[in-house]
Structure 1
Amino acid sequence: MTLDAQEAHAARRTGLNGQAPRCDHLDQLPAVEHGRAECEECLTLGQTWTRLLVCLTCGRVACSDDSRGGHARDHYEETDHPVVAALDRRSTWRWCYVHRRTV
């Protein structure tokens, strides 16, 4: 079987067994140290958060969309840093804002 360039490109980007394409943003992430386990914006506003996320591009910690402030999304919109992870070290959950899905 022969693949043309377009088919070969699609095959490289597809996950196993027809899963969603791999997120290329994961390959571009530097190793970063995250900040303190708190959302600075929420603290400034006197708000609480539900869950904290860490930006995998710069290490900024901010609250998730299910928190009142949604400051992690605000950080993405300001910086275009695409991927966040749950701050909980036991979690493997990561979200790509560009693709709007877990990665």
Structure 2
Amino acid sequence: MTPSENQGTPAAAAIDPAVPPSGTGCAACDANGGWWFHLRRCAACGRIGCCDSSPGQHASAHAAAAGHDVVRSFEPGEEWFWDYAKEQYVEDGPQLAAPQSHPADQSVPGPAERVPSDWRDRLNR
């Protein structure tokens, strides 16, 4: 499914455009020495978490634990939002506080020094 399909509108409280991202990598993976595939940014509090294809699935875990349902991609060139509660892309999300993505030269998956050689086999599908 693409962002242009199945779109909805989030509740105003689900997105705080003024809050900056928590860092450039998944906060939980950085804390526990893990690695991630792609990154997501909580639209309510700015916490950076890894996507559901990543071993830790920290973005969706944060959404469930904190009740922060809306995330924005934190990948360069991606501007879509996702609502975990509604399981759909969000239409017309606002511009969030900079930066909009992790640095373009940051490795994907990352961080490079923690990514195992068989990382493709470890992705959730």
Q: Report deviation, 1:41.
A: 1.5
Partner of 1:95: 82
2:16 aligned partner = 30
SS in 2 for 1:49: coil
Tell me by how many angstroms 1:85 deviates: 0.7
User: 1:22/1:39 Cα in 2 relative to 1: closer, same or farther (>3 Å)?
Assistant: closer
TM norm structure 1:
0.72
- The worse-fitting range, judged by mean Cα deviation, of 77-86 and 29-38 is 29-38
Percentage of pairs with the same residue: 29
- The residue aligned with 2:111 is none
Q: Deviations over 1:32-65 (max 9, x none)?
A: 2111111121123322100010000000001010
Structure with more of its chain in helix, by fraction: 1
1:20 Cα deviation (Å)?
4.7
Greater relative contact order (Cα < 8 A, sep 6+): 2
**What's the C-alpha RMSD, in Å, of the aligned pairs?**
1.8
Q: Which residue of 2 aligns with 1:58?
A: 45
- SS of 2:35's equivalent in the other structure is coil
CA distance in structure 1 between the aligned counterparts of 2:84 and 2:10, rounded to whole angstroms: 12
TM-score (norm 2): 0.60
Question: Structure 1: 5+ residue runs without aligned partners?
Answer: 1-18
Query: 2:6 touches 2:88 (CA, 8 Å); kept in 1?
Result: no
Larger radius of gyration: 1
Rounded to whole Å, the distance in 1 between the matches of 2:85 and 2:74 is 20
Stretch deviating more after TM superposition (30-39 or 55-64):
30-39
User: Where in structure 2 are there 5+ consecutive unaligned residues?
Assistant: 91-125
Which digits, 9 at most, give the CA deviation of each residue in 1:11-50, with x for residues without a partner? xxxxxxxx7563232x332222111111121123322100
